[in-house]
């Protein structure tokens, strides 16, 4: 099985006629992802990549039956794009853009409350369910179908975590990049819940990083579970001196007051398996 995304998921692309969208959507289609159309205001009625283009998300959803959208739109337009997707009652939206203004994200999170629409991102590589579908910029060739769920706050280290599951002789159920920004849509708790509900996911790899309090919330949730699945966690930035000004966007919130070691400690206390080196993940997986 999988979470959030599978081969039956009907998808549209917001901003489909842009260069980046064209490149990645073409790859996704070749991978087998069910992309049924796209949205570019003012270009409705035409086609792109052999797919129909619509002026609005509502039109695209009604015509194609799509329930998810991957958006390749510039940061200043993300707010209106997400709101439009929510108004069209899509189940899932994946936002690739970085640099979305904090004010816009506050408004987005407020609008999404009470709706059925789940947001992954912004500033995310997306979500991929191996051999089924890819919404984002993940390199498809490094993923294999298996029983390990992967969720990460660090875009680049997500790829490392995937490679570690392969080194362990395992594959992935679904891989989710939460996004590197200060404010994001779905978080660790949301994804951990879904992985625990998924019968095919036997263990989870969690990649955290300096900044924010997402890992602390994940620890509290994990402690509350009666029969938790094994979670192997790695926190980026452990070797950086306490108080050092970080480049991670999320560190704006904590101002460097919460170290990577603090996060490691709270996750370990909650019962997760902690690795100090990301290259040790495969060893811990083999021990499960």
Question: Over the stretch 33-83, which tens digit does the pLDDT of each residue have?
Answer: 999 999 999 999 999 999 999 999 999 999 999 999 999 999 999 999 999
Instruction: Give 172's contacts (C-beta < 8 A, 6+ positions apart).
Output: 128, 130, 143, 144, 145, 146, 148, 149, 150, 162, 165
91 plus 219 within the same structural domain: no
**Structural domain count of the chain:** 2
In this prediction, residue 238 carries a pLDDT of 56
Last residue of a domain, one of 120, 135, 159: 120
Q: Residue 134 domain-assigned?
A: no
Q: Residue 5 domain-assigned?
A: no
150 plus 275 within the same structural domain: yes
Last residue of a domain, one of 55, 87, 120: 120
99 plus 167 within the same structural domain: no
172 plus 283 within the same structural domain: yes
Q: Residue 115 domain-assigned?
A: yes
What is the token pair recorded at 3? 């979470």
160 plus 50 within the same structural domain: no
51 plus 98 within the same structural domain: yes
In this prediction, residue 207 carries a pLDDT of 97
155 plus 243 within the same structural domain: yes
Question: Over the stretch 14-37, which tens digit does the pLDDT of each residue have?
Answer: 999 999 999 999 999 999 999 999
Write the CATH number for 226. 3.40.50.261
Q: Residue 131 domain-assigned?
A: no
Question: Higher pLDDT residue, 255 or 59?
Answer: 59
76 plus 177 within the same structural domain: no
Residue 234 exposed, middle or buried by CB count within 10 Å (0-12, 13-18, 19+) = buried
Q: How many CA atoms lie within 13 A of 114 on its CB side?
A: 4
The whole model's pTM is what? Answer: 0.93
In angstroms and rounded to an integer, the radius of gyration of the C-alpha atoms of the chain is: 19
Question: Higher pLDDT residue, 133 or 156?
Answer: 133
Instruction: Please state the rounded mean pLDDT for residues 270-287.
Output: 96
pLDDT(242) > 50: no
157 plus 96 within the same structural domain: no
Mean pLDDT taken over the chain: 93
For residue 54, give its domain range. Answer: 11-120
């Amino acid at each position: 099985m999988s979470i959030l995304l599978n081969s039956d998921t009907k998808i549209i692309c917001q901003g489909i006629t842009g260069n980046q969208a064209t490149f990645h959507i073409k790859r996704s289609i070749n991978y087998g992802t069910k992309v049924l159309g796209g949205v570019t205001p003012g270009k409705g009625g035409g086609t792109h990549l052999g797919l129909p283009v619509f002026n609005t998300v509502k039109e695209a959803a009604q015509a194609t039956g799509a329930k998810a959208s991957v958006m390749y739109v510039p940061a200043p337009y993300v707010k209106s794009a997400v709101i439009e997707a929510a108004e069209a009652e899509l189940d899932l939206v994946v936002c690739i853009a970085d640099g979305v203004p904090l004010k816009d994200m506050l408004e987005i999170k407020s609008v999404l409350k009470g709706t059925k629409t789940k947001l992954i991102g912004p500033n995310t590589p997306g979500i991929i369910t191996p051999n089924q579908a890819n919404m984002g910029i993940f390199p498809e060739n490094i993923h294999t179908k298996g029983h390990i769920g992967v969720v990460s706050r660090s875009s680049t280290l997500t790829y490392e975590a995937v490679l570690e599951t392969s080194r362990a002789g395992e594959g992935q159920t679904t891989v989710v990049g939460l996004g590197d920004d200060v404010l994001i849509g779905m978080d660790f708790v949301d994804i951990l819940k879904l992985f625990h509900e998924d019968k095919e996911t036997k263990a989870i790899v969690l990649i955290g990083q300096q900044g924010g309090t997402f890992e602390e919330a994940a620890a509290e949730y994990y402690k509350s579970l009666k029969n938790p699945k094994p979670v192997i966690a790695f926190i980026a930035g452990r070797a950086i001196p306490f108080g050092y000004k970080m480049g991670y966007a999320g560190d704006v919130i904590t101002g460097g007051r919460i170290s990577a070691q603090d996060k490691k400690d709270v996750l370990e206390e909650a019962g997760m398996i902690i690795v100090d080196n990301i290259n040790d993940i495969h060893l811990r997986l083999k021990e499960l």
